[in-house]
Each structure stands twice: as C-alpha cells, then as structure tokens.
C-alpha cells in the first residue's frame, strides 16, 4: 500500500511492529527515523524523510494496521529571545545613494542574532507576523550599509494546489506532484514602513531572486524554476512585484480566511514550463502490487496510478458491477442512483484514462506471463460502431467514403498460453479517425509510417518488447494477420535478439522477391517437407472442418521496399501451408507465414502453424467485448469517456474469457479461486434447488458448468464445453442469486473493498 508517498509492504509493516514491540517506549520521531534508515527513504539532499514517514505511521495507526506508542508529551518550543539591539528606523525619505549599499543576506540558523532580528522585524511590522513557516524554507534579511537592517524576506515550499496556477502552468496531477518542489513561495516580504526610498522594494526583490536558486539548491539539492506569492488586494496593490516583472495569473479560492488573493509568479529559468510539465515515466514493473487482494478487482487494478483513493474504490466497484451484469447498460449494472452517478463521474474524470486502467491490468498480466515458457500475443484491430449515438463528441468515420458510420478504432494485443487460455491485455490503442482524412487513402500511402495507422503494429510490438525484458524466462511471440505484413515491423523485430519473436501471415499482393523469384513462387517450387492436419474454426456460414495441408519451410532473405531502400535486407523463416483436398465449394487454406523464430525442422514448422492458428482467439475476445460487455451500447457524452469505459470493459471481457478457458485447462482447481463463499454456496443451492449448500466447494469445472446452465447451456454430449455466451449470461443470474442468499443468510456477497492512497 502507498501512504504519503511511501510503499508499506508486509515486510515494512512487520519491521514497524517488531520495533515497537522491542522498544515500547520509543518515541515516534525515533521510530520514523529508524524506518527511514531501514528503507533508505531520503530526500534529494540525503536527509531522512522522517516527517512524511511520521504522517504515514499515524495514518497506519488510525486504520488499525499498526499500534503506535502513546505520545508522552507535546513539545513546547520556546520562542527565540529578542534581538540584542532594537530595530528602529525613523521616518525618512532617502535616495538610493543616501541609503548606501543594499544587500540581501541568508540566515543560516535560527539561533543567530540575524534570525532574532528577522523575527523582530516581522513581528513588529508585518500583518501576518513571523510565522509559522511551513516546509522547506530560506529566510533573508535586508541590510543597508548606512541604516542597518531595513527588511526581511522568507521563501518556503509552494502551495500544494492552486487552480489558477496549475492551469496556467499546464500541470497534470502527476506532473504537479513530481515537480512541485521546483516551485518556491515568497511567504514574507517586508521593508521597514518608516523608510521611504523609491523603487527599493523591486530592487530588493531582484537581489533576492538573483541568489535564491543557488541558495535553495545548496540547502535542498533541488533548483527551483518558479517563484509564486500572494497579494491581498484589500491591503496592497502589488506594484513592487509588477515593477520587478512578476505576473498576476489569477486568484486563490479564499478557503482559508474567506479572502481571495492575487497570485503572482516569477520564472527563474527560461524553460520553466517545460521543466515543470515533465511528468516522470513510470515503467512497467515499477509499481508495487497489492499483496493480499480482497477480490479479483483489487488483484487486477491494485497498482492503478490514481492519486485519489476514492477513484480506486470506485474502479473496483464498477468492475465488479460490470462483470456481474455484463450485458446491462450502466444504470442497470450499477443497480442504484448513487452508484450510477458515481460511475458517470468516474468516466468523465480527467485524472482517469484507459491507459491508466489497462496499465494496472497489464502489471497483473505480467505476473501470469512469468509462469509460462511460451506466451502468444496476437494483435488485431476492430471497429467500435457508435452510429446510433451521433451526439457523442469526438467520434470519427470508421469505413470508406460511401459509409457514414462513426465510432472508434481499437487495436489491442492479448496474451494467451499455447493452450489458448487468455492471460490478459498487454496493449490497447484507441483513436477516432479524422473526418478530413476520409477518402484520402492515396495521400496516406505517401506518408511515413509514423503518420499512418500502420504504426499501431510497431507500437504494440514495442510494448511487448518492454514486457519481454521483465519476463526473460518466457518467450513472447507477437502474431499478426496479413495487415501486419510490413517491412518496418520485421525491421523492428530484428533489432534485438533477446526481444519477442514475430509471426506474421504474409499478404500475397506484396511483391516480395527471394532469389529473383516472387516469394510465393519460390516457396511453391520447393519440395514438400511434410503434411499436417489443422482445425479450421467455424466462421459465419462456413462450417468448421479438419484440413489436410502440405507444409514447406525455408530461410529467406527479404529485400527492403523502395521507401526503406537505405535499410538492409532481412533474414526470416517462411512456412508455406496449402490445403490439398479442399472441396469445390470451399476456398482452400493457403498460409504464408513469416517469422523471426527459427524453423529448422518440420516439427518447428508445425509449431509455428499451431501458433498462428491461435490468432483467432483474439477475435473471440472481441466478440465477448462487443456481445458480452455490449461496449457499443455504452452511452457517454464524449469519446474520451467511452475510452475510459472501454478500459474497464476490456478487463471484464478478459475475465469472462479467462474463466471459460481456465475451467478447461485446470478443471480440478477449487472453485474458490474465482468464486466467493457466498457465490458458490448460492450457486449450488440454486442449481440443486436445496436450501443447504454442500460442506465442500465444487471444482472449478463443476462450478463453471453450473453457471453456464444458469445461462442456458444444456450440457448434452454433443454440446462440448460451455462457451463465453452462456457463461456471461449465467454470471448475471448468479449475481442476483448471491445477493439474495447473502441477505437471507446474513453474509456479505462481496468482501469489503480497500484502496490505499
């Protein structure tokens, strides 16, 4: 769990408990210091982050996770004694020459005489007094060579959140949290009111700002790039700040004292905006996951990067509601007015995105990938048609110029085991086409691949390459259909031998030459290396069948196309498969597979054909997404909200498909791996029509069959295993049965949700 910027694992919590137990009288200050040392929690300047650690410990104690020692006493810090000499400047009007040299000197310690003078000046002459000052701070005192100490300044940590300031900078939540320490607040500025010198205030500000970046960096090892301050318009005009080139960018909300103050800023670096808006890249595998998730939603989304814990709890709730009522619209799935409003607000929240939701799911998917030797990752593109929702903003054309349908384009990559069990979504790209590009395919062909939709294949492969680095013991295989037959994709795959493998079905219209022959003619002229039988799945009006096919394989060298003439040729392996005994009314199967995985034997060729035959699994996944989760029936106001909702629905669709296939792959596993105690008990009582559930939970296979029967599965011998359709229908009925069972028996149908900040 993450609290106040620190991750508290089971090990860390156990260390805290052991320290408190071993030293019952330990102070909270010493406890926080020891925890920081053990976990190396330090600021950029090397100091321990004991204050943030202490706040986190208090929060853990409040939640009952740890028991902190009682606070023995409250420290009563005495005020510094008054300055040795009184600060008294009579009312005079002077020129700069008469004032003498003006310097701005930093105060090194609260125990120095300069510190006491600084406090005396502010307590006597500033309407806010001398403090307290919050967070990191530097104080300056202004000295005149002829009149002594005539002013004081203080710079502290910036304000946590200001709407007008954050919008002016262009901050996202992540960028603000990452770069707020590069902004400094001018918390106090005072010149002795009895001293009248024209332009002295703006001159002092310039002197202070000229040395502030260096002084702050020396003390805190962070160089500030922006200074802010607040001016009460009822008291001051802020003329001296404007004279020193500060800019007013808005007002505060006035929540503290009911008075809105003007916000002024001053850049300390030319590229201050670029520096402040640079959001740190959090790579896959860097976010700790929840160690003991309470339910499947926490397991899949526990590492989601939401800064507000309420968003996490809402995500968990929406995901479970969508799974239990996957065919229903949002109000029906949520089940209440309050939850429906919460769901719509969640999808409209600017801090929530499809990428953030799916990145958390991908983290969980990586852990499943590590358990397998070979994982197949087919890519595919599907169209989400929202023509029945023309008022939705941000949609684009989905087909040719003669078709007026509108919607979104989804290109995703799903990881599967070699047996076909889906492990999760590893990449998803969603966009709306530009209306102005409709019907301009000829112009698009002249563009570089970075400006074409074809770049989607490269981006998905690059995402898979990142995952491959985290799973070195697993061989990942990216699989694509004929649309992915692109030279740039093969070139990308050949850059790293340790990267994922690539398997693509070649497009026959590509005029690829091998030894001065067309690739297809070259492979057809080779002797047959063997014959195998493959299962052709039923599709539309075409019946499923077992096809007998001849197989030929060879290592080939493909030349680059004209647009990539400066690139080298690529060595690949080609596997050519042709059906030999197809009936006249059926088009024979003819596959030309190009792969970066070695094919040295007929067994290797057979394995590559089996890999490609798994590509249709992603089409089944898309059917679950559209027909089961009814993503095309979602009614939201903008394309961005639809994409966020799509992120949740994609994980729900995977969950349904995963449950369907896992029941076939590991049928004897205890069903409690997927169903809660209330769910499997309600399931058994509903199916057997008895009020008393069995003492022992059924196996996963038995539970899946019972759920499928609730969804209309007949279970006849010729019916085979339950499919995704009957399973998602059965899950909806099971949700109602579980809720009623929990009410009657006084048990919660779902475990309580948890979300840590």
**Would you say 718 and 745 are in contact if contact means Cβ atoms under 8 Å apart?**
no
pLDDT confidence band for 78 (50 / 70 / 90) = low
Q: Length of the chain in residues, anyone?
A: 757
Q: Which residue has the higher pLDDT, 72 or 313?
A: 313
Mean pLDDT of the chain: 86
The token pair that represents 202 in the structure block: 């703006």
Is a pLDDT exceeding 70 seen at residue 248?
yes
Looking at residue 592, its pLDDT comes to 92
Looking at residue 73, its pLDDT comes to 61
Looking at residue 63, the DSSP 8-state letter turns out to be T
Segment 345-394, tens digit of pLDDT: 999 999 899 999 999 999 999 999 999 999 999 999 999 999 988 889 99
Kindly state the helix (H) or strand (E) to which residue 94 belongs, with its residue range.
strand 92-94
- The 3-state secondary structure of 419-486 reads CCCEEEEEEEEEECCCHHHCCCHHHHHCCCHHHCCCHHHHHHHHHHHHHHHHCCCCEEEEEECHHHCC
Rounded CA separation 54/74 (Å): 15
Of 245-259, 260-274, 513-527, 530-544, the range with the lowest mean pLDDT is: 530-544
Q: What angle do CA 742, 298, 417 make, to 5 degrees?
A: 110
Share of residues in the chain with pLDDT > 70 (%): 92
Segment 656-695, tens digit of pLDDT: 888 888 777 667 777 776 777 888 888 888 888 888 888 8
Looking at residue 749, its pLDDT comes to 53
Within a 10 A sphere around the Cβ of 430, how many other Cβ atoms? Answer: 21
**Would you say 428 and 618 are in contact if contact means Cβ atoms under 8 Å apart?**
no
**Would you say 190 and 151 are in contact if contact means Cβ atoms under 8 Å apart?**
yes
Share of residues in the chain with pLDDT > 90 (%): 48
Give the range with max mean pLDDT: 63-72, 474-483, 563-572, 708-717: 474-483
Looking at residue 442, its pLDDT comes to 61
Looking at residue 756, its pLDDT comes to 35
Looking at residue 754, its pLDDT comes to 39
Rounded CA separation 187/158 (Å): 9
Rounded CA separation 559/565 (Å): 8
Rounded CA separation 229/426 (Å): 45
Looking at residue 748, its pLDDT comes to 61
Looking at residue 478, its pLDDT comes to 97
Give the range with max mean pLDDT: 38-52, 162-176, 572-586: 162-176
Looking at residue 90, its pLDDT comes to 56
Q: Which residue has the higher pLDDT, 639 or 518?
A: 639
Q: Which residue has the higher pLDDT, 88 or 592?
A: 592
Beta-ladder partners of 126: none
Looking at residue 349, its pLDDT comes to 94
Could you give phi then psi for residue 582, rounded to 5 degrees? Answer: -80, 145
Is a pLDDT exceeding 80 seen at residue 111?
yes
Rounded CA separation 148/195 (Å): 12
Looking at residue 83, its pLDDT comes to 54
Cis peptide before 132 (omega within 30 of 0): yes
Is a pLDDT exceeding 70 seen at residue 719?
no
Looking at residue 82, its pLDDT comes to 54
Regarding beta strands 374-385 and 226-231, do their DSSP bridges make them parallel or antiparallel, or are they unpaired? unpaired
Helices and strands in the chain: count of H runs, count of E runs: 25, 23
Is a pLDDT exceeding 80 seen at residue 746?
no
Mean pLDDT of 466-487: 94
Looking at residue 77, its pLDDT comes to 52
Name, in order, each residue with C-beta under 8 angstroms of 230's C-beta and a sequence gap of 6 or more: 252, 261, 262, 263, 264
Segment 604-650, tens digit of pLDDT: 999 999 999 999 999 999 999 998 889 999 999 999 999 999 999 99
List the one residue out of 578, 560, 436, 564 whose CA is nearest residue 510: 560
The token pair that represents 675 in the structure block: 């169903």
Q: Which residue has the higher pLDDT, 16 or 445?
A: 16
List the one residue out of 305, 334, 309 whose CA is nearest residue 320: 334
The token pair that represents 167 in the structure block: 């919008």
Looking at residue 191, its pLDDT comes to 93
Kindly state the helix (H) or strand (E) to which residue 663 belongs, with its residue range.
helix 639-665
Mean pLDDT of 93-117: 88
Question: For tokens 């479970």, what's the residue?
Answer: 320
Looking at residue 757, its pLDDT comes to 34
Segment 185-222, tens digit of pLDDT: 999 999 998 888 888 999 999 999 999 999 999 999 99
Regarding beta strands 262-267 and 247-251, do their DSSP bridges make them parallel or antiparallel, or are they unpaired? antiparallel
pLDDT confidence band for 594 (50 / 70 / 90) = very high
Looking at residue 436, its pLDDT comes to 75
Is a pLDDT exceeding 90 seen at residue 139?
yes
pTM, 2 dp:
0.80
* Termini Cα distance of the chain: 7
Looking at residue 340, its pLDDT comes to 95
**Would you say 655 and 696 are in contact if contact means Cβ atoms under 8 Å apart?**
no
Rounded CA separation 546/752 (Å): 49
Mean pLDDT of 309-318: 94
Mean pLDDT of 724-731: 79
Looking at residue 612, its pLDDT comes to 94
**Would you say 6 and 56 are in contact if contact means Cβ atoms under 8 Å apart?**
yes
**Would you say 735 and 667 are in contact if contact means Cβ atoms under 8 Å apart?**
no
Q: Which residue has the higher pLDDT, 195 or 652?
A: 652
Give the range with max mean pLDDT: 367-381, 553-567, 568-582: 367-381
Looking at residue 336, the DSSP 8-state letter turns out to be S
In 3-state terms, what secondary structure has residue 489? helix
Segment 402-430, tens digit of pLDDT: 568 899 999 999 999 999 999 999 999 99
The token pair that represents 255 in the structure block: 């929540």
Domains of the chain, first to last: 2-62 (no CATH), 92-276 (3.40.630.30), 505-601 (no CATH), 666-745 (1.10.740.10)
Mean pLDDT of 422-443: 82
In 3-state terms, what secondary structure has residue 522? helix
Rounded CA separation 245/202 (Å): 9
pLDDT confidence band for 170 (50 / 70 / 90) = very high
List the one residue out of 695, 693, 704 whose CA is nearest residue 671: 704
CA atoms within 13 A on the CB side of 277: 11
**Would you say 444 and 452 are in contact if contact means Cβ atoms under 8 Å apart?**
yes
Is a pLDDT exceeding 50 seen at residue 598?
yes
């Amino acid at each position: 769990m993450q609290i106040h910027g620190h991750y508290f694992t089971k090990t860390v919590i156990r260390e805290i408990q052991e320290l408190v137990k071993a030293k019952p009288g330990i102070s909270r200050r010493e406890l926080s210091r020891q925890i920081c040392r053990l976990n190396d929690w330090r600021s950029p300047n090397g100091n321990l982050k004991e204050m943030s650690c202490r706040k986190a410990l208090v929060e853990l104690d409040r939640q009952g996770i740890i028991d902190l020692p009682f606070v023995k006493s409250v420290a009563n810090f005495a005020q510094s004694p008054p300055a040795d000499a009184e600060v008294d400047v009579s009312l005079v009007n002077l020129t700069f020459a008469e004032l003498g040299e003006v310097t701005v000197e930093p105060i090194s310690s609260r125990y120095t005489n300069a510190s006491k003078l600084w406090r005396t000046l502010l307590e006597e002459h500033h309407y806010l007094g001398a403090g307290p000052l919050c967070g990191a701070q530097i104080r300056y005192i202004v000295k005149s060579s002829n009149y002594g100490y005539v002013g004081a300044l203080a710079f502290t940590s910036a304000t946590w959140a200001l709407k007008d300031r954050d919008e002016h900078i262009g901050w996202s939540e992540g960028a603000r949290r990452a770069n707020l320490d590069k902004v400094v607040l001018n918390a106090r500025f005072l010149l002795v009111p009895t001293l009248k010198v024209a332009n002295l205030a703006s001159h002092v500000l310039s002197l202070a700002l000229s040395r502030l970046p260096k002084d702050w960096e020396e003390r805190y090892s962070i160089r500030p790039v922006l200074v802010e301050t607040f001016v009460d318009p009822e008291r001051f005009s802020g003329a001296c700040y404007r004279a020193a080139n500060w800019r007013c960018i808005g007002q505060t909300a006035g929540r503290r004292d009911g008075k809105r103050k003007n916000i002024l800023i001053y850049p300390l670096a030319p590229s201050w905006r670029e520096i402040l808006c640079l959001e740190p890249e959090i790579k896959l595998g860097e976010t700790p996951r929840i160690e003991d998730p309470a339910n499947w939603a926490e397991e899949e989304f526990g590492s989601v990067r939401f800064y507000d814990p309420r968003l996490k709890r809402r995500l968990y709730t929406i995901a479970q509601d969508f799974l239990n009522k996957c065919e229903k619209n949002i109000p029906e799935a949520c089940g209440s007015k309050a939850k429906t409003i919460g769901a719509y607000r969640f999808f409209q929240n600017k801090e929530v995105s499809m990428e953030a939701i799916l990145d958390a799911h991908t983290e969980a998917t990586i852990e499943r990938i590590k358990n397998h030797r070979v994982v197949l990752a087919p890519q595919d593109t599907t169209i989400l048609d929202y023509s029945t929702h023309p008022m939705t903003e941000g949609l684009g054309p989905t087909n040719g110029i003669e078709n007026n349908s509108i919607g979104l384009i989804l290109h995703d990559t799903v990881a599967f085991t070699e047996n076909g069990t889906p492990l999760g979504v590893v990449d998803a790209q969603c966009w709306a086409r530009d209306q102005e590009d409709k019907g301009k395919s000829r112009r698009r062909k002249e563009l570089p691949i970075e400006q074409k939709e074809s770049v989607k294949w490269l981006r998905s492969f690059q995402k898979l390459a990142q995952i491959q680095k985290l799973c070195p013991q697993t061989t990942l295989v990216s699989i694509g259909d004929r649309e992915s037959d692109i030279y740039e994709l093969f070139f990308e795959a050949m850059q790293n031998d340790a990267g994922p493998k690539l398997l693509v079905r070649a497009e026959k219209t590509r005029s690829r030459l091998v030894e001065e022959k067309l690739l297809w003619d070259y492979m057809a002229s080779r002797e047959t290396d063997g014959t195998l039988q493959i299962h052709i799945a039923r599709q539309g009006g075409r019946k499923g069948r077992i096809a007998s096919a001849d197989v030929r394989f060879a290592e080939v060298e493909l030349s680059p196309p004209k647009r990539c003439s400066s690139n080298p040729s690529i060595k690949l392996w080609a596997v050519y498969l042709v059906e030999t005994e197809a009936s006249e009314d059926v088009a024979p199967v003819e596959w030309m597979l190009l792969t970066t995985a070695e094919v040295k034997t007929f067994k290797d060729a057979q394995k590559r054909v089996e890999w490609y035959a798994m590509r249709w699994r992603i089409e089944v996944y898309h059917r679950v997404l559209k027909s089961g989760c009814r993503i095309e029936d979602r009614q939201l106001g903008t394309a961005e909200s639809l994409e966020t909702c799509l992120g949740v629905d994609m994980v729900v669709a995977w969950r349904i498909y995963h449950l369907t296939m896992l029941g076939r792959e590991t049928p004897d596993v205890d069903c409690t791996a997927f169903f809660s105690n209330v769910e499997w008990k309600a399931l058994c009582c509903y199916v057997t029509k008895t009020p008393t559930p069995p003492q022992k939970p059924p196996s996963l296979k038995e539970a899946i069959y019972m759920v499928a029967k609730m969804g209309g599965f007949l279970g006849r011998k010729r019916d085979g295993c339950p499919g995704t359709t009957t399973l998602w229908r059965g899950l909806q009925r099971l949700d109602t049965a579980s809720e009623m069972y929990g009410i009657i028996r006084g048990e919660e149908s779902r475990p309580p949700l948890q979300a840590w900040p």
